[in-house]
Amino acid sequence: MNDNPSFEINDRWIVSSRGKKNSVDPSRPYAWLVEKERTSSGKIEDMATVFLTNRECPYHCLMCDLWKNTTDNTVPAGAIAGQIEWALSQLPETRHIKLYNSGSFFDGRAIPVEEHARIASLLSHFDTVIVESHPRLINDKCLQFRDMLKPALHIAMGLETVHPGIIRKLNKRMTLEDFEHTVQFLNRHQIMSRAFILLRPPFLSEAEGICWAERSIDFAFGAGVECCTIIPVRAGNGAMDLLRGTGHFEPPDIVSLERVLEYGIGLRRGRVFADTWDIGLFSSCDKCLTQRTQRLTEMNLSQEIIGPVVCGCEHR
């Protein structure tokens, strides 16, 4: 696949390619749910996820569509803790919770530091709290938040890809050393980390997408993460649609996601999950989509490689 677009990929181009944001309410999370997850203890347990509404992430990664449910400005004082309190009143009781904020929990303009103490007190009955952050925003503030929490803190971070040319083009403004040093910092402070890894970012063929996702899993575990989540890349944020139109991007196939998940689980170096959100986008075969989705879900939960789905679509 051609990896040299005739235009420069930078913040300006990425932002100018966007459509409109969704309308969001700063007093409410924009989504919340409970799903099963194999937790770090090896048990399959309920995991709540609250998608907080807050100020847009200051980074503008090429593939990111999380800006759609964000605000332009910092939300009013107390709004984030209020959203969590409200979500907890709606959700069934669970022992584990993810607070995902379409950016970085440790970005003070998204989640004001003044709210950390109240957030920690609202979460005191959980065993585990997972937040997400750009690796470069992790520092001693994160340890201070960890010290306020009764539950264990885990942090999810986008490694994206270890392909040296593509990581630059993604506009992530992070080096592999940044990621590695951050994981080591967290490990020194007994904070578990998980890596988000992209399957087939732009400019890669299907086979290259698989290969680089596998190399990225190797790197993430080598750096010391406890868990990897593989995310198939999709269009829909403007920039990715333009790249698709110029032949620089095609979404991966669900079969590739199965292959990378098998690879990751087979390593036995930690938990590996496939993100099955909107999974129908990655299949053009109605005959096997349900079975493949079930297979991915079962492998996510069991962390075992289960028998393949056999369908003629793989040989077309």
Taking CB under 6 A as the criterion, the residue among 57, 120, 129, 220 binding ligand SF4 is 57
Question: Which partner, Zn ion, ligand SF4, none, binds residue 136 by CB below 5 to 8 Å per kind?
Answer: none
Contact between 134 and ligand SF4 per CB under 6 A: yes
Nearer to ligand SF4, 61 or 235 (CB): 61
Contact between 270 and ligand SF4 per CB under 6 A: no
Contact between 311 and Zn ion per CB under 5 A: yes
CB of 135 to ligand SF4, least distance (A): 9
CB of 306 to Zn ion, least distance (A): 17
Pairing mode, strands 44-51 and 31-38: antiparallel
Alpha-helical segments (H) within the chain: 11-16, 79-90, 116-122, 140-148, 164-169, 176-188, 206-223, 239-245, 254-267, 289-302
Contact between 61 and ligand SF4 per CB under 6 A: yes
Binding mask 143-172 for ligand SF4 (x = CB under 6 A): ---------------x--------------
CB of 191 to ligand SF4, least distance (A): 19
Contact between 287 and Zn ion per CB under 5 A: yes
- Does residue 315 sit in helix, strand or coil? helix
How many whole angstroms separate alpha carbon 137 and alpha carbon 107? 7
CA distances from 212 to 6, 113, 183, 201 (A): 24, 36, 20, 9
Q: Are 254 and 284 in contact (CB under 8 A)?
A: no
Nearest alpha-carbon partner for 48 in 30, 34, 29: 34
How many whole angstroms separate alpha carbon 25 and alpha carbon 230? 30
Nearer to ligand SF4, 57 or 289 (CB): 57
Taking CB under 5 A as the criterion, the residue among 122, 143, 242, 285 binding Zn ion is 285
Taking CB under 6 A as the criterion, the residue among 38, 55, 60, 96 binding ligand SF4 is 60
Phi, psi angles (nearest 5°) of residue 278 = 55, 35
Contact between 66 and ligand SF4 per CB under 6 A: yes
What are 275's two structure tokens?
């993100």
Interface with ligand SF4 (CB under 6 A): 57, 59-61, 64, 66, 102-103, 134, 158
Q: Which residues contribute to the site for Zn ion (CB under 5 A)? A: 285, 287-288, 311, 313
